[in-house]
Amino acid sequence: MMRRSSVCLMFLILATVAGCKHSAATSPALKARAAGTAIAASSGGQQIGETGTALKDPLVVQVNDDHGTAVQGALVEFRGPAGVHFDPAAVLTDSSGQATTTIRLGTIAGRYQISAVTPGKSQSATIQAVETALGYQQELGYLLAEKYCDRCHDPESSVERVSNYDNLEVKPHPFTEGDTLNKMSDADLVAIIQHGGPALNRSALMPPYGNTLSAADVRALIASIRAVADPPYQPAGTVYARK
Ligand code: HEC
């Protein structure tokens, strides 16, 4: 008897905690202390991460008033498609007018459109950002690109890697440059990655990877190149012969 009632009590406590959590998530107890008229992205838009994981950098947005002055205490709400999680989902801007959240992408690979909304005095202002979630094969390709390709293909140097881009006489394209890479067929990508630039009458500064990377690695690289392309890659549909 004794045992049974304590189990009940525990259940009650758990239910209360869960209930509180739920209502906190749906109706944030945040009250705006000020209102801005404009919202702008500061950093953290256009990141690429793995499905179901938190993006490396937080998303930071800035709320200003009519005069372009930072507004402290304005409410900012972050919204995204189902499966995206924000921590926090609503926040007040700090003394520099900034609101910061960490984003965990959903488990489906693809582009996630995120918005940050701030209610103004008469109408609310919205800013949008797109974050990309990579599936398993795409993520594998992304890591291979970091290891083998980015030192030439990414003009930006990072702490871990100094870019070789400026030393190259012929400039390669970052893999996000959809305008160039979307025009290349999968077959062309396989050819240039396995056999190097000369396979497509391009510069030999693009080395051959046929002996370094397996066919599956090359497919993963191509999957990642297609996933990060901006503008997005549109696979060719069915092409019918003209009558
Ligand atoms: C040593 C520098 C270097 C490395 C490392 C390198 N590339 Fe390249 N890549 C180039 C250069 C230079 C070009 C441009 C060739 C041209 O346009 O004549 C190029 C071109 C390409 C192209 C054609 C599109 C473009 O950017 O013009 C693809 C696709 C490509 N590389 C894929 C890769 C992949 C995948 C890897 C890693 C497995 C890789 N590259 C590693 C130098 C490099």
Pocket test for ligand 1, best of 153, 203, 219, 226 (most atoms within 8 A of CB): 153
Tell me the pLDDT tens digit for each residue of 170-194. Answer: 999 999 999 999 999 999 999 999 9
Q: Report the separation in Å between the CA atom of 206 and the middle of ligand 1, taken as the mean of its atom positions.
A: 4
Report if residue 176 sits inside a domain: yes
Closest listed residue to residue 219, CA positions, set 168, 120, 145, 146: 145
* DSSP letter string, 167-189: G-SSPPPPTTBHHHHTTS-HHHH
CATH of the domain at 218: 1.10.760
Q: Do both 67 and 143 map to the same domain?
A: no
The predicted model scores a pTM of 0.81
Average pLDDT, the chain: 89
* DSSP letter string, 53-81: SB-SS-EEEEEE-TTS-B-TTBEEEEE-S
> 147 in ligand 1 pocket by Cβ < 6 Å?
no
Sign of CA dihedral 160, 194, 225, 172: positive
Domains: count for the chain: 2
More confident position, 55 or 159: 55
Report if residue 3 sits inside a domain: no
- In this predicted structure, what is the pLDDT of residue 159? 86
CATH of the domain at 127: 2.60.40.10
Out of 112, 134, 156, a domain closes at 134
Q: Do both 47 and 130 map to the same domain?
A: yes
Report if residue 240 sits inside a domain: no
Tell me the pLDDT tens digit for each residue of 188-228. Answer: 999 999 999 999 999 999 999 999 999 999 999 999 999 99
> 142 in ligand 1 pocket by Cβ < 6 Å?
no
Report if residue 162 sits inside a domain: yes
- In this predicted structure, what is the pLDDT of residue 136? 96
Q: Do both 200 and 115 map to the same domain?
A: no
Provide the residue range defining the domain that includes 205.
136-228
Q: Do both 42 and 105 map to the same domain?
A: yes
Q: Do both 128 and 146 map to the same domain?
A: no
Q: Report the separation in Å between the CA atom of 192 and the middle of ligand 1, taken as the mean of its atom positions.
A: 8
Cβ(219)–Cβ(186) under 8 Å? no
Q: Do both 129 and 140 map to the same domain?
A: no
- In this predicted structure, what is the pLDDT of residue 130? 94
Report if residue 120 sits inside a domain: yes
